[in-house]
Structure 1
Amino acid sequence: MTVLLFGASGYLGRAADEALRERGARVVRVGRAVPPDDGWVRHDLVRGGTGELVELLRAVEPRVVVNCTGQLDGTAAELVAANVTPTAALVNAIPQAVPSARLVALGSAAEYGRVPHGLSVAEDAVPDPVSAYGITKLASTLLVRDAVIAGRLDAVVLRIFNPIGADLPAGTVLGRAAQAMRVALRQGDDITLGPLGAYRDFVDVADVADAIADAALAPTAPEPVLNVGSGRAVAVRDVVAMLASVAGFQGRVIESGPAQPRSGAVTWIAADTTRVQRSLGWSPHQDLASSVRAVWQHA
């Protein structure tokens, strides 16, 4: 089984690479800038032409294409380029070059927008994103879903909720908190973050990687859109407190910073994971405490 993995050097891409290799897949890793190692191919899904992408797909002949590229923050134009253009390129090129290959794309809980407090959101909920990030991720999902409905593509979008764990980027709330705590522990300061009263569904990056591998290697086509989360909403303030305990940070956490534009308006989100359990047999195995420890130990 050959898997062509775009975004292999990123946070989710590295974890997916490891999970796929553990399952025995031959992974060909793709990036815009690649190390001088075997198993890497240079390609830019944003700037590369369709012809170049078709040539790459025909040369590798993957059974599965996994797209872990994407961008969390930026201008609307930057987010369209990073989150929509790569999906459109793959949706156009795969049927031409390797029509029997499966595409696994990564969506986001941000596609749902505001949901009723206390309820888990399922894939058939009407999406209503509240940020440019969520809008671009939803556009990407719709491109894939429509290609599946039209019979042009074997594909699945995994709607990832809030991934945490080892090597968490600083662009996330816990990544920022860990970075700020490391500085504060050296200098004896308090830390300042944005509002922490929202509830989020945190899922370990290793569990996300397993879901990607499950979707890639499933013998039959999964359902086209699947939630990947823990199924439980936790107050962000409580998780930051867990992180402070692990770090030994005893200063104050001051919540006077600006809210994050991509998610500040969403006060609650939790995944209904019924469909992914039914379609892939997937469920999370990592507990929140171990995920938070990994955030600190591998920050």
Structure 2
Amino acid sequence: MDLSNKVAVVTGSGQGLGLAYATALAAAGAAVVVNDVDAASADRAVRQITAAGGRAVAEVVPVGGTEAAEALVSRAVDAFGRLDVMVTNAGILRDRVLWKMSDDDFDSVVDVHLRGTFTCARAAAVRMREQGEGGRIITACSPAGQRGNFGQTNYAAAKAGIAAMTRTWAMELAKAGITANALVPVAATGMTRTIPAFAAHVDALETRGEPLPDQLRKGEGFGTPEDVAGLVVYLASDAASDVTGQCIGIGGDKLALWSHPQEVNSAYTEGGWSADAIAAAWPVSVGREPQTYGIPAPKPVGA
């Protein structure tokens, strides 16, 4: 993919998945605005990209509010003259079960993930529409947002909201030639290190460079951040100009398309439904095959 005429912003790109995205975009020729709340991480990422021959600048700002989003777009325009790709990757975790989750736990995660995605996408859309040459909005979802996950009320809600916003933007921005798609990555990061089945393998990968076993790469679709980056480059490219409104999973050796929520069963009765009528009909019609929920627990390696 040749992205030499593209300029991209990647939020939360001082490390982890975001750094892999920014590095891959730059390697494909794009100029990149690296964003992080930590100046040292952002500067280190810029040095890494430029040392490899890429073009990158840093914008140190916490994603969430409108001012931060507009600063990121302005940085791209001031440094490189335009904006073509917005990748909304920044995120945090504050995992708690429902009865222990505080208002701050909920609000902080929703602010960074959901509000931050909204404000950055909005600022990008304004600029891209002004340029009149189309563009790419690439958001970050999660299996938790598709299926729910224990202890992640805030995170799952934010990610589900991002999927819904992305589908909405695909409709709203189509006339301007701007696509909107969501990544559903599964990769070895600080976030997935908290999952017991993955923890030892993430540590082995990051501390000793040990490759992930096939059971994770193939069976669980779980890989490195770099395994995910190719999808970002593809969605940013002209080759993906007709791909929009999609939630696309990637991890390890696996690439997948997530379905959109849809009705799976229905029933009708003359005059509408009473509670008694629903109780009688549920087990033999609409509710005869209840939908599953939650992310299946990873199988222990070697089991």
- Larger relative contact order (C-alpha < 8 A, sep ≥ 6)? 1
The one-letter code of the counterpart of 2:295 is V
**Aligned residue-pair number:** 210
Q: 1:17 to 1:51 in 2, by over 3 A?
A: closer
Question: Whole-Å Cα distance in 1 between the matches of residues 179 and 203 of structure 2?
Answer: 43
Counterpart among 216, 223, 231 of residue 203 in structure 1: 223
Counterpart among 168, 174, 188 of residue 164 in structure 1: 188
Select the structure of larger CA radius of gyration.
2
Question: Whole-Å Cα distance in 1 between the matches of residues 71 and 203 of structure 2?
Answer: 42
Q: 1:218 to 1:71 in 2, by over 3 A?
A: farther
Unaligned runs of 5+ in 2: 1-5, 48-55, 96-104, 206-218, 256-292
Question: Whole-Å Cα distance in 1 between the matches of residues 165 and 158 of structure 2?
Answer: 11
Q: 1:25 to 1:58 in 2, by over 3 A?
A: closer
Deviation at 1:163, TM superposition (A): 1.0
Q: Does the alignment pair 1:18 with 2:18?
A: no
Contact 1:87 1:143 (C-alpha < 8 Å) held by counterparts: no
Counterpart among 210, 223, 236 of residue 216 in structure 1: 236
Deviation at 1:86, TM superposition (A): 1.0
Q: Deviations over 1:200-241 (max 9, x none)?
A: 432332220111111112341423223223449xxxxxxxxx
Q: 1:168 to 1:159 in 2, by over 3 A?
A: closer
More helix by share: 2
Provide the secondary structure at the position in 2 that maps to 1:29. strand
Counterpart position of 1:239: none
User: For 1:1-299, what aligned pairs fall within 5 Å after superposition?
Assistant: 1-35=6-40, 36=43, 39-49=57-67, 51-53=70-72, 55-56=74-75, 58-59=77-78, 60=80, 61-74=82-95, 75-99=105-129, 100-113=134-147, 131-151=153-173, 153-160=178-185, 162-164=186-188, 170-173=193-196, 176-177=199-200, 200-219=220-239, 220-229=241-250, 230-231=253-254, 265-267=294-296
Contact 1:31 1:42 (C-alpha < 8 Å) held by counterparts: yes
Deviation at 1:84, TM superposition (A): 0.2
- CA RMSD of the aligned region, Å? 3.7
Q: Deviations over 1:227-259 (max 9, x none)?
A: 223449xxxxxxxxxxxxxxxxxxxxxxxxxxx
TM-score (norm 1): 0.58
Provide the secondary structure at the position in 2 that maps to 1:112. helix
Deviation at 1:177, TM superposition (A): 2.8
Q: 1:205 to 1:54 in 2, by over 3 A?
A: closer
Contact 1:10 1:69 (C-alpha < 8 Å) held by counterparts: no
TM-score (norm 2): 0.58
Bigger mean CA offset, 12-21 vs 41-50: 41-50
The one-letter code of the counterpart of 2:187 is P
